[in-house]
Structure 1
Amino acid sequence: MFSKRRDAQVQAQNRLADLDGKMAAIGRSQAVIEFDLDGVIVDANPNLLTTMGYTLEEIRGAHHRLFMDPVEAASPDYAAFWRDLNAGRFLAAKFRRLAKGGREVWLQASYNPVFGADGRPAKVVKLAIDITAHEQEAARREALRIEAEQAQTVLVEALAGALGRLSAGDLTARIDAAVQGDHVRVRDDYNAAVESLRQTLGQALGAIAALRGGAGEISSASDDLSRRTEQQAASLEETAAALDQITATVKRSADGARQASTAAAGARTEADRSAEVVRQAVAAMDGIKRSSAQIGDIIGVIDEIAFQTNLLALNAGVEAARAGEAGRGFAVVASEVRALAQRSAEAAKEIKTLITTSGQEVAQGVRLVNETGAALAAIAVKVAEMDALVSEIAASAQEQATGLGQVNSAVNQMDQVTQQNAAMVEQTTAAALSLKTETDQLARLVERFETGEVQPRVHDLSASAPIPLARERARIRAFAGGGAATAASQDWEAF
């Protein structure tokens, strides 16, 4: 039993220590003050004392209305405020309070009733943060905003009146109201804009007459230019048609030259092939000549063999005669061998004679084939020269066809551009007529503005001094009138 009581005491002490720690943490960051239920100050931490400028001895025992504006403290709302706290209701808001010396202080605060053991409110603890600087800055900005709105209202009213007069054509409408700050720039910019517009319209009144006269002359010159451009377009169209025919003719010539070049190249190829065949024939004839010589050598050997055989047969016959009856058969054989050797020798002589004759004919054939090869080589050289010349002719014809094609394209493009220029000139003529009409209408519109100066009317300006564009008008008039050729060329370049 004693142990349980001790544990309960320890837990209570721990809770109190924890509560004290939390209150200390709150007190380090916020202003804390305690009241009894009647609003009498019981205690306050250093943060609150520093914020309000009092010491604890100066405020302890004093009532909460010490920090209040007297008028607010006497109001029914203040009495209701303490009744709600006594009823245990929590209150949090921004509050305006008075520090020592009547200095204004703004607090973001909460009034927290603290309940006793019987569950009824026993005291009130106030937690607060000083937001005076923020609130005063907000109040300053609000005052500046109100002041700016008032100044803007003055400017808007003055600007509305001036714009009303301006919309009615009065260019002397100015803003003379007294304004401040950035509104001075708005007033000055408006007055400067109106003044610039007044001067511009004044100059426009003087320039519209010149514009009207120039528009009339431009219209006349544009009409004449349109006729001349149409004639030029027709001439270019005829030139383009003629160039088309020339281009087609040159193209056909180029095609024929290409075909001739192809035929010459074929002839050169055939000549080269014939020369090659002749070279092969010469080589074959040389082979035959060498073979004939070799056969002649072989026939010589055969003739030599026949001679030796004949000699041996003669010797054998002599020996057979010496042998008498015993050598008779051998003598017959020797006689036959001798006869065969003689026939072989005679045949070899005949073959040698034929081979010699064949060799001479082969040599003559080789000479003739060599002469044919030389002639074909000369023909091949001439054909190569012809091929080169025809190739150059074909290349030149192709270049001419290409060049004429480019010229034809350029002329066709010039024809299209000239046609377009003709259409544009017609549009320019129509635009010039429209410009003259619009200039008259512009003159009537501008005359309704009041610039505060005496301006001659537009219809009276036609008899005034020469306009600044007189020289350019004279050039256009000389071109449109078709003067001398040189003058017309100079005027056209200048135009």
Structure 2
Amino acid sequence: MRLFGTKTNTQLKLASGEPVTQGSVALIDMVLQTQAVIWFQTDGTIIDANKNFLGAVGYAREEIVGNNHSMFVTSDYRKSKEYAAFWESLRAGEVFTDRFARVRKDGSLLWLLATYAPVRDAQGQINGVVKIATDVTPRQKAIETIAAGLEHLRNGNLGHRVASSREPDLNAICEAFNAAASQLEELVDGVKSASARISESGSKIGTASEALSTRTETQAATLEETAAAVEELTSNAATAAENARNVTDIAVETQEAAKKGGQVVDDVIAAMTRISKSSGEISQIITVIEDLAFQTNLLSLNAGVEAARAGNAGRGFAVVASEVRALAQRSADSARDIKSLITESSEHVAGGVDLVQRANTELSTIFDRVGTITNNIKEIAGGLKEQSATLTEINTAVAELDVVTQRNAAMVLENMTISKTLSSDTEALFDQVAVFQTSQGKMHAGGWTHARPEHSQAGMLAETF
């Protein structure tokens, strides 16, 4: 049986035509000792296999010799065009080196890093196929494990960890993957927690902003009404202050007129005093007239007595004396009447003087009270003036406060917009981090839910034969 070359009567040659040397034999022996080797006819019929290959597939030599290569592949692949094309290419002289998936006797999957090469005879014709392979199933499983971990990572499952591998280089990748996943999981958990706090804070800010907006609008409306009321009060205060100034002027004029009235009363009292004095003087004159009338009457009596003594000679003188006596009597009577009238007039004048003096006293009291009223009105006018000035300042301050409140209301509305934007951005952040699953759970925009592991397998590497 020719395995690696062509056997002649004198020497063994390799398929390349080179003679088999001691070094070539050593190399072939090393391959047979370290690699899994199997030989086929060009139609895939198994010629032989070494113990390494038999150990890898789990068959005994007699179980495979004479059977076809297809016993090592899945039924689906066995029926595929790719499998037929693979053997057609081998019969055409192509060489394939790749990682191949094969089926063990127990049905488990076996991965071989193998080279399929045609075997040529002395004339260069292909009369067989040899396969030299290395069992890389543990390595492939490690790669699949890492691929599955990457698939979990792609799907956002940060709680998945890959098992360690017996392959040192791949185990380093596994450890690096687990460390990176742990760090990323911690980071995403932090982002989720921060997002939840931001969402809660944003919701509170939004609620507070809405409440503040409502209160600010109410305050602005109340302040506007207050500003209108203060403005009206300021106008009324200014009008009252102006009226108070006018009343003050009138009170001052009234006080001056009252002073002048008091002067007139004083003049009346002085005139009545003079009248009373003149009445007294008239009474004295009437007294003199009464005395004259009395003397005249006495003289007329004496003249009548003397005329009676004279007889007829004194008769005419007696008549004259009688008439004089009558005139004296009438003068005395008139003087008494005048005196009585003057006395009554003097009493009336005295009463008038008393009344005028009482009126003067009352007018003095009125003058004092008018002065007090005038001073009070002046103070009230001054107070109203100060109140008007103060209300003007308050009106200005309220107007400025109204403007500030309106600005605050606008700022509150702007803050509400910012708060809504923050909430929207937070929800968007929720949506972005919600795809990540950690050991603590999975977060959605509505809150946290327990993580549900998603099982996925890495895609099988394409089989090339």
TM-score, length of structure 2 as denominator length: 0.37
Larger Rg: 2
TM-score, length of structure 1 as denominator length: 0.35
